[in-house]
Amino acid sequence: MGLHYPATAADYRLLAQQRLPRFLFDYIDGGATDELTLAANTADWARVPIRQRVLVNVDGVDTGTALLGQTCSMPLALAPVGLAGMFARRGEVQAARAAQAAGVPFTLSNVGICSAAEVNAATTVPCWFQLYMLRDRGVVRALLDRAWAAGCRTLVFTVDLPALGMRHRDTRNGLSATGARPKLLRATQVLSRPRWLWDVAVKGKPHNFANVADAVPGGQDFNAVKAWVDTQFDPSVTWDDLAWLRDYWKGRLVLKGILDADDARRAAGVGADALVVSNHGGRQLDGVASTASKLPAIVQAVGAQTPVLVDGGIRSGGDVFKALALGAQGVLIGRPWVWALAAEGEAGVHTLLRRWQRELQLAMTLAGVTRVADIGPQHLER
């Protein structure tokens, strides 16, 4: 029986599983190889204990803050997720509208289905734009120019994808193979979800990577664009390319995928405006450390000089509080908003965000703190 009133990210996950073709659900739900890092990301936040205090005046708890110059209802942004437009009809647009209504930033993946222009036309607050460094730097320049022209002023550069991680669920579902057998497997999964087939596959067209489609021969064909994108991830990218990007992009530059204190110090030294402690949601190299375990050392490495955000395994407003107490200035969430989007569209994402804001407010209240800026290690059990 389906859940009529989802209350948690886990509830939305179950609904998404019921509504998506299996290959799409596993694409967003799965991680690299044995998924050990995927599991550790969530488990390690659960092991961080909040210190409860009583008889403190907590009248007027305020979850509001600013992230990268943008006023927010809470210190949270929606992370970039590729193919999000396949999880609901024009999914990135729906999610961006929900994020704006909830008062938090939305980040558009450069391999999203909707373009930056389409997303920003549907909202009054421009999205953040995410970039993978592609082999063809001419395409990169064109991407950046279009994002800027669409109104984007914050660029999130993902640095932990010189090559795609091995994701066994995708292999089992035939996503990484061509030919009749995997195509038949995916078609069978699609036919088992007639609601998704009609609402997204039929009514949600066009399905292409709109931000890069112009650069690809046969760019209106989804499979052709996906094949091209898969060849474009560049293992030769170094700090020199970051210096070029910092010079080319005139807005705020955020580096996403930092998991080492030495890398954090170097990133701060070359002009990154913020860092995101991230292991790509456990989707790249299995066996690397969880983000919760790496966050304190990275915060200490860059000090107050560079804002540090974190993603990976955050599943509630209580987890947001824990991240702030460990030194982050904010969090990014990926899977939870996609699960909510797949389950209930824009309304689901908005409901999830409002519930997380209330959870954060409650955590602050019972920890005896009224302002986000005052949350720190003293609010955790030693």
What pLDDT does 1 receive? 43
Q: Please say whether the beta carbons of 346 and 96 come within 8 A.
A: no
pTM of the model: 0.95
What pLDDT does 222 receive? 61
What pLDDT does 183 receive? 87
Residues 6+ apart with CB under 8 A from 10: 315
What the chain holds in terms of domains, given with CATH numbers, is 9-379 (3.20.20.70)
What is the DSSP annotation of 30-53? --STT-HHHHHHHHHHHT--B---
What pLDDT does 224 receive? 65
Q: Which of 196-200, 224-228, 346-350 has the lowest mean pLDDT?
A: 224-228
Q: Which of 192-201, 218-227, 237-246, 365-374 has the lowest mean pLDDT?
A: 218-227
Q: Which of 4, 280, 350, 379 is catalytic?
A: 280
Q: Is 280 a catalytic residue?
A: yes
Q: Rounded CA gap, 360 and 367, in Å?
A: 10
What pLDDT does 226 receive? 67
Average pLDDT value for the chain: 94
pLDDT digits (tens, 9 = 90+) for 172-183: 988 877 788 888
- Report, as an integer, the average pLDDT of 62-70: 97
Distances (CA, A) of 100 to 196, 223, 250, 309: 25, 32, 24, 19
